[in-house]
Amino acid sequence: MTVSNWTDADSTRALEIWTEYQRHHDVSARTGQAVGIDPVSGRVWFGRTAKDIWKQMDQEGIDAPIYCLRVGSRYYGRKGAWR
């Protein structure tokens, strides 16, 4: 993957794309799956894990940074324990 200059604006744009995607598509059956969002192209990928998404992108010859999270969650993974 290429070196990226990811910014907060990229994250904001990716979340806007995800919000708009959910307005037009029912993703309830995909709860728990990984989703990757390209803030430049607006494309959305789904997979079991982020690694699965990167493999899909590699097979399509796409080398772009993406924003990853879990469907039904505001983040991809959580570090630390519940207290």
Range 47-70 average pLDDT: 96
Phi and psi at residue 25, in whole multiples of 5°?
Answer: -135, 135
Can you spell out the DSSP letters for 27-64?
A: -GGGTT-EEEE-TTT--EEEESSHHHHHHHHHHTT---
pTM: predicted TM-score of the whole model, two decimal places: 0.85
pLDDT, tens digit, for every residue of 21-43?
Answer: 999 999 999 999 999 999 999 99
Q: Which residues pair with 68 in a beta bridge?
A: 36
Which one-letter DSSP state was computed for residue 70? E
Mean pLDDT of 58-70: 96
Q: Could you tell me if 40 and 9 are in contact, meaning their C-beta atoms sit under 8 angstroms apart?
A: no
